[in-house]
Amino acid sequence: METGYTVEQLRAAATDAVRAPSLHNVQPWRFRLRDGGIEVLLDPARRLPATDPSGWGARVAGGAALFNLRLALAVAGAPATVRLRPYPSEPDVLARLVPDLPSRPSPTEQNLYAAIPRRFSNRAPFWPDPVPADSRWRLAEAARAEHCWLELLIGVSAVNAFAEIARGAHRVLERDPAYRAERESWVRPGPEPDGVPATAGGPQAEPQDLLPSRGFGGIQRAPGRDFEPEPLVAVLGSAGNTAVDQVVAGQALQRVLLTATDAGLSVSMLSQPIEVPSAREQLRLSLGRFGAPQMVMRIGYGQPGRPTPRRPVDEVLDLPVHLG
Ligand SMILES: Cc1cc2nc3c(=O)[nH]c(=O)nc-3n(C[C@H](O)[C@H](O)[C@H](O)COP(=O)(O)O)c2cc1C
């Protein structure tokens, strides 16, 4: 009897996995079948040495792809048991999934799965309407369900204090020419299979903006289209900051993002204060949290937009030659 996953299951699930977010849309993942298990790997050719020297961002993105993969398998009735970083001698293998007992997907899994193709980073200003309490609760629960915490910043002074940390981190990063060059090399004038299309990059930054934006060569803002004055800022954090914690955080990130999409909310991510160690520690202290902040999100009601392109799935599959 066949006990492992098939190439067809791998290809179908990986098609959903690649919809995950990644720094500069580098898509740092690969997927393979080994001894009947599906494995998620980091692609050494898709590192960002200046932006992500430690590999934190790649592991978070890989964790987000892993969450989509888990969902896809669960919704197909073939849920997985997951082992993170299964081979100590192969740190680029982030996870191994083997079939668990077949079962019917839950309504939550079905709703989150349906949100995968609709989710995208929305860097434009949001409407000023507040995010209702039940949606806030669902977002925090989504993080908890994946063993992480989500802190929603309440009140103008908490958001202002955060903004100061974020702007400081942004300034530190922007001083590095290699970091700036790397970002610019991933901006795409039109739709291409990877990188950030300039049309998705959000509006150009202006001096009155509270939060820093990455500067993906965005469009000029129409007069009066400022960012919402009191954004809902959420900080996602994990229990620790090992490589495994970062993969765990990536799964939680994706669960929060899909939960937001399912609730009709838009999200943009800002990770400058995570990437500068002193800012990250300042942020952690300001929240009074143990563990490690892993991502910051701006959440609200946005204008419609469209998902960004991905590479064809066959480019990220490692298949045995006779199965390709
Ligand atoms: C670890 C990580 C860090 C990110 N940091 C930022 C950021 O600082 N600013 C930003 O605008 N987007 C950030 N993003 C979002 C990516 O740029 C985005 O996911 C990618 O361009 C693909 O677009 P999509 O989210 O619309 O699918 C980050 C994503 C990840 C996974």
Q: In CATH, what is the architecture of 133-300?
A: 3-Layer(aba) Sandwich (3.40)
What the block records as the tokens of 51 is 């932006």
- Enumerate the H helices of the chain as residue ranges: 7-17, 56-75, 107-115, 133-145, 156-174, 177-185, 243-262, 272-275, 277-287
53-105 pLDDT, tens per residue? Answer: 999 999 999 999 999 999 999 999 999 999 999 999 999 999 999 999 999 99
Q: Is the CB of 121 under 6 A from ligand 1?
A: yes
If you measure from the C-alpha of residue 50 to the centroid of ligand 1, how many angstroms do you get, rounded to a whole number?
16
Q: Which CATH architecture has domain 7-117+311-323?
A: 3-Layer(aba) Sandwich (3.40)
Instruction: Flag whether the pTM goes above 0.85.
Output: yes
60 lines ligand 1 (CB under 6 A): yes
For 230, the token pair is 């009191």
What is the Cα–Cα distance from 198 to 241, expressed in whole angstroms? 32
User: Is the Cβ atom of 268 under 6 angstroms away from ligand 1?
Assistant: yes
Atom of ligand 1 nearest to the CA of 216: 11
Ligand 1 pocket test: which of 47, 48, 67, 121 has the largest number of ligand atoms within 8 Å of its C-beta? 121
Give domain limits for the chain: 7-117+311-323, 133-300
pLDDT, tens digit (0-9, with 9 covering 90-100), for 208-251: 899 999 988 777 887 777 899 889 999 999 999 999 999 999 99
The alpha carbon of 208 and the centre of ligand 1 are apart by a number of angstroms equal to 23
Same fold, 7-117+311-323 and 133-300: yes
285 C-alpha to center of ligand 1: Å? 24
Per residue in 134-177, pLDDT (tens digit) is 999 999 999 999 999 999 998 899 999 999 999 999 999 999 99
Q: What radius of gyration, in Å, describes the C-alpha atoms of the chain?
A: 19
Give the list of residues 6+ apart from residue 125 with CB closer than 8 angstroms, or none.
203, 221, 225, 226, 227, 228
